[in-house]
Amino acid sequence: MQSSNPVLGRAFNNKRGFASMGSVATDTQGSSATLEDLYNAPAASSLRTGRMTIDDVVTRTGILFGVLVIAGAFAWTLNLGVGVMMIGILAGFALAMVLTFSKTVHPSLAIAYAAVEGLALGTLSHFYNTLYPGIVSQAVLGTLAAFVGVLFAYRSGKVRVTPRFTRIAMGAVIGYLVLGVISMFAAMAHVGNGMGFYGIHGLGLLLAVAGVGLASVFLVLDFDQIQKGVAAGVPEAESWRAAFGLMVTLVWLYMEVLRLLSILRNN
C-alpha cells in the first residue's frame, strides 16, 4: 500500500526488514542459555540495531518543532512582514521538494525547513492574531487536541488504515486542492470578500472544516506508515524523514484550524 504522504511513502514502502530468524538450538541446555541471554540483554535501540524506532521519530520531531517554534517566536516578535513570509513559504516549498524526492536523508535540510517554515508561520500567526486577538493560542490548543485525539483513535484501533481508506483520502485531498486553486483565482478576481470561496458564508465554513478533517486523516496515515517503517526495520536515519513528514502534516493541520477559527470569529 502506498503512503498518502510522499515523504513517508518514498522512505518506508517496499522495505524489507534486516533481521532474520536463525537456526534454533534443539537441546534444552542451549535453549535455556539463549533465553537467559535474551532476558539479560539490554533493550534494543537504534544505536544497537541501526534501525529506526518510535523513540527516534519522537526525538527528531521534537527537535524540528523546537526549531520551528524558536523561528516562529523570532518572526512574531519582530513582525517581519509579508515579504519575509513569502520568502519563508517559497524556501520551505523548495526544501520540502528536495527532502521528499531525495534518496538520501538530509537532517540539515529538515532543520532548515523547520526554520524557514517557522518564519512564515510566525509572521502569518501575528497577522491573524492582530485581526482576532487570542486566535493563535486557540489554534495551537485545537491542533494539539486534534493530534492527541487522532493518535488515541489510531492506537486504540478505532481507526484502521486500509487500501480503500487511503484511496478515499487521496481522492478527497485532490478535490480539496482543486477547490483551493479555484478559490485562489476567485480571490484574485475579487469574488466575495477577497478570500475566494473561503470567504463565502456557509461554503467557506464547510471547506475549512473539510481541511481540518483531511489533515487529521493524513495524521492517521502518517502514524500508520511510521509504524510500518519501524516494523520493516528501515535505517535509523529515516527517522529524520519521518519527523519531517509528520511535521508537514501538523503544520497543515494548524493552518486549517487557524483558518476555521478566523471564519468563525469573522461570522
Asked, for residue 17, whether it belongs to a domain, the answer is: no
Alpha helices (H) along 156-237: 163-188, 203-232
pLDDT tens-place string over residues 12-52: 554 433 333 344 344 444 444 444 543 454 445 555 568 88
| Residue 91 maps to a domain | yes
**Residues 95-110: pLDDT tens digits?**
989 988 888 888 999 9
Is position 164 within any domain? yes
Position 15 in a domain: no
Regions in the chain scoring below 50 on pLDDT: 1-4, 14-35, 37-39, 41-43, 188, 190-197, 200
Residue 2 included in any domain? no
Structural domain for 223, as ranges: 45-266
Is-contact 239 62, C-beta < 8 A?
no
Tell me if 6 is assigned to some domain.
no
Closest CA to 216 of 246, 253, 168: 253
Per-residue pLDDT at 119: 92
Tell me how far apart the alpha carbons of residues 233 and 229 are, in angstroms, rounded to a whole number. 6
Q: What's the pLDDT at 153? A: 87
Domain count, the chain: 1
pTM: 0.74
Residue 253: φ, ψ to 5°: -60, -45
Q: Does residue 10 form part of some domain?
A: no
pLDDT attached to residue 13: 54
In a domain, residue 19? The reply is no
* 51 bridge partner residues: 235
Q: What are phi and psi of 232, to 5 degrees?
A: -80, -10
Question: If DSSP states are collapsed to H, E and C, what string results for 52-80?
Answer: CCHHHHHHHHHHHHHHHHHHHHHHHHHCC
